[in-house]
Structure 1
Amino acid sequence: MNEYMASNRRYETMTYHRCGRSGLKLPAISLGLWHNFGGIDVQDNGRRMLRRAFDLGITHFDLANNYGPPPGSAEETFGQLWRKDFGAYRDEMIVSTKAGYRMWPGPYGEWGSRKSMLASLDQSLKRLNMEYVDIYYSHRFDKETPLEETMSALDQAVRQGKALYVGISNYGPEETREAVSILRQLGTPCLIHQCQYSMYERMLEGELQDTLLEEGVGTIAYSPLAGGLLTDRYLNGVPEDSRAAGASIFLKREDVTTEKLAKSRKLQELAAQRGQSLAQMAIAWVLRHGRVTSALIGVSKEEQIDDIAKLLDNPSFSSTELDHIERILGE
């Protein structure tokens, strides 16, 4: 019997957006388990974060085969915790995983071959203790494997009942258009594209976003806080206990430039005028036009989830505020 009982008010404040032209809705805020849920982390902390997220209506939990560290351990942690706490709520949860980056040694442990994609999914399901995932992604485009092969592997995963939907991640506009076309012909539409997007990383804008809108594909943005640069963590430089001070793959010390810190301080001033933290405003900005289905956050403690969720109290921007943000970013 599960010890955890979800809040009966969990759907009262969260906003849900339809994902592309599908029937699936995703929460405006999704929780990523890239780090802080691995084998080196304290499992009770991960448990508290998952519980708090679900209590706030965050129903989407995003993983990949190589998340940890070590690789695979985030799926193992999530699999153990959902069995303990969320077994009764499986039909209220969206669980995604991915394959494409290096996971095991040899020629089949990465990229986009049918062998790699389907073997990886089987391994992920074992770690997750699940019969299926809701979304299965090709994590990156493989230029050495025919795209038809990678997409047919995604299609097969759905036909085998191991995934309900499929998506792609980190694909450029041309590859996205081709992948979407192939999947449509196979009868398994592309649900979603996951890409990096923030005030400091705007490659989504332009051709890629236009393609996704034209094709009816949803968008989920990862790193909306630019690795922490769009929080109050680095406003006064690089703390010694921060990601950028260590060997983080998210944010390196050289990324914390004087120019970006100056911009972040000005953005913080605008956020304060809006009655928000910088993090709240930064994620609200990612969601501002309704073109991004969900913003994917990474946190290290449950209080951060509470803080970010408050952005829903003031998600809109005036044209004056948006112009002000563009001026700051353009300086």
Structure 2
Amino acid sequence: MGYTASDTRYEEMRYNRCGRSGLKLPAISLGLWHNFGGIDSYENGREMILRSFDLGITHFDLANNYGPPAGSAEELFGKVLARDLAAYRDELVISTKAGFSMWPGPYGDYGSRKSMLASLDQSLARLGVDYVDIYYSNRPDPETPMEETMKALDYAVRSGKALYAGLSNYSAEQTVEAVEILRQLGTPLLIHQPSYSMLDRWIEGGLQDVLENQGMGSIAFMPLAQGLLSNKYLNGIPEGSRAAKPSTALNESRITPELLRQIRALNQLAVSRGQSLAQFAISWALRGGKITSALIGASRISQIEENIASLSHTEFTSEELERIETILKKSDEA
């Protein structure tokens, strides 16, 4: 039987306006960074995408190099879109990005006009769509003038290949510069996608203020700090986990005894609120309404369901927030 979306898909999800734009995003979006590549199970990926949509997740976040191999996550999503979601295309927000290494040679990386627009055409072909809803510059290019990268985003929108333009991994100062260039070109910047979690709070040092002042939305990636803010590491580093692999950014050298003490203390606070640590972390990222959407990853449907359940409890007392700050201060109190 073919797929038919749930009639109740919009009853529980919260949708937040993205800055001062007309677009709303679900409070939780699904990212296809891991577990949706060519080495992964197509059926599992398909089931996670469809279950997400049935639960009200309308925003699916990709990049040109997601896989592995690079490009295969877009291909998987394109197959699911053609097979199951074609009738619902206008209910979906599909985003992709360019800026990290994608193909050999000098044009498959960073932010030149050549790279940005060639990558967009490749992404559209893999996804099987005429346009993406959001196209991001995935990181600033230290050697290409900002004007060139922003003009490429402007062209992507003006050509109809993207509806909105976004940034990821840009500093507060770089974001201000990008906003000013695109404003002069007549294409507003919709959104910034930074890393943000209780263990990674760099955006509080100025970027959040910039986004609010400029009327931009924000979608936080890695709100669970690559799984650190889940039950996975409460008893140390499990064999086969991402942290056990030396080639990843999350490795054993980062998971110190002090960090494990902090995670366990945060988990105790989560339990006192009736939440898992993962739910607690997502609720914290969405507190106060500064973050438009939390971008989650998943390897199975149950994780998506668990994370969405966090939306029922995103309020924090002042005592809870103070306790979190105390836990996260590097000290010997634990």
TM-score (norm 1): 0.98
1:239 deviates by 0.7
Q: Distance in 2 between the 1:329 and 1:218 partners?
A: 27
Aligned residue number for residue 137 of structure 1: 136
For the 8 Å contact 1:137–1:169, the answer to whether it is kept is yes
What letter matches 2:260 in structure 1?
L
What letter matches 1:156 in structure 2?
Y
Q: Distance in 1 between the 2:95 and 2:149 partners?
A: 17
Counterparts in 2 of 1:16 and 1:82: CA distance versus 1, 3 Å: same
Please state whether the residue corresponding to 2:44 is helix, strand or coil. helix
Aligned residue number for residue 187 of structure 2: 188
Aligned residue number for residue 279 of structure 1: 278
Q: Distance in 1 between the 2:51 and 2:318 partners?
A: 34
Aligned residue number for residue 154 of structure 1: 153
For the 8 Å contact 1:34–1:68, the answer to whether it is kept is yes
Mapping for residues 95-134 of structure 1, pairs under 5 Å: 95-134=94-133
Aligned residue number for residue 221 of structure 1: 220
Q: Distance in 1 between the 2:145 and 2:32 partners?
A: 30
For the 8 Å contact 1:271–1:278, the answer to whether it is kept is yes
Aligned residue number for residue 270 of structure 1: 269
1:167 deviates by 0.3
Q: How many residues align?
A: 330
Aligned residue number for residue 168 of structure 2: 169
1:250 deviates by 5.1
Q: Distance in 2 between the 1:99 and 1:77 partners?
A: 18
What letter matches 2:31 in structure 1?
G
Please state whether the residue corresponding to 2:287 is helix, strand or coil. coil
1:143 deviates by 1.6
1:246 deviates by 2.3
For the 8 Å contact 1:30–1:296, the answer to whether it is kept is yes
Aligned residue number for residue 295 of structure 2: 296
Aligned residue number for residue 254 of structure 2: 255
Mapping for residues 5-44 of structure 1, pairs under 5 Å: 5-44=4-43
Counterparts in 2 of 1:24 and 1:250: CA distance versus 1, 3 Å: farther
For the 8 Å contact 1:76–1:127, the answer to whether it is kept is yes
Please state whether the residue corresponding to 2:203 is helix, strand or coil. coil
Q: Distance in 2 between the 1:137 and 1:101 partners?
A: 11
Residues 230-263 of structure 1, C-alpha deviations (whole Å, 9 max, x = no match): 0000000011021111256352122222111111
For the 8 Å contact 1:166–1:192, the answer to whether it is kept is yes
Say yes or no: does 1:328 pair with 2:315.
no
Aligned residue number for residue 203 of structure 1: 202
Q: Distance in 2 between the 1:77 and 1:58 partners?
A: 18
Aligned residue number for residue 316 of structure 2: 317
For the 8 Å contact 1:47–1:81, the answer to whether it is kept is yes
For structure 2, the residue ranges without an aligned partner over 5 or more in a row are: none
Structure 1 runs (4+) deviating above 6 angstroms are none
For the 8 Å contact 1:99–1:117, the answer to whether it is kept is yes
For the 8 Å contact 1:227–1:250, the answer to whether it is kept is no
For the 8 Å contact 1:112–1:145, the answer to whether it is kept is yes
Q: Share of identical aligned residues, percent?
A: 65
Q: Distance in 2 between the 1:45 and 1:126 partners?
A: 23
Instruction: Report the more deviating stretch, 262-271 or 237-246.
Output: 237-246
Please state whether the residue corresponding to 2:107 is helix, strand or coil. coil
What letter matches 2:12 in structure 1?
T
Q: Distance in 2 between the 1:207 and 1:314 partners?
A: 27
Aligned residue number for residue 55 of structure 1: 54
Say yes or no: does 1:74 pair with 2:92.
no
For the 8 Å contact 1:100–1:110, the answer to whether it is kept is yes
For the 8 Å contact 1:26–1:293, the answer to whether it is kept is yes
Q: Distance in 2 between the 1:104 and 1:278 partners?
A: 38
For the 8 Å contact 1:99–1:121, the answer to whether it is kept is yes
Please state whether the residue corresponding to 1:315 is helix, strand or coil. coil
What letter matches 1:229 in structure 2?
L
Q: Distance in 1 between the 2:313 and 2:106 partners?
A: 49
Q: Distance in 1 between the 2:213 and 2:153 partners?
A: 22
Residues 18-77 of structure 1, C-alpha deviations (whole Å, 9 max, x = no match): 001001000010000001000000000001100111111011000000000011111011
For structure 1, the residue ranges without an aligned partner over 5 or more in a row are: none
What letter matches 1:284 in structure 2?
S
For the 8 Å contact 1:245–1:252, the answer to whether it is kept is yes
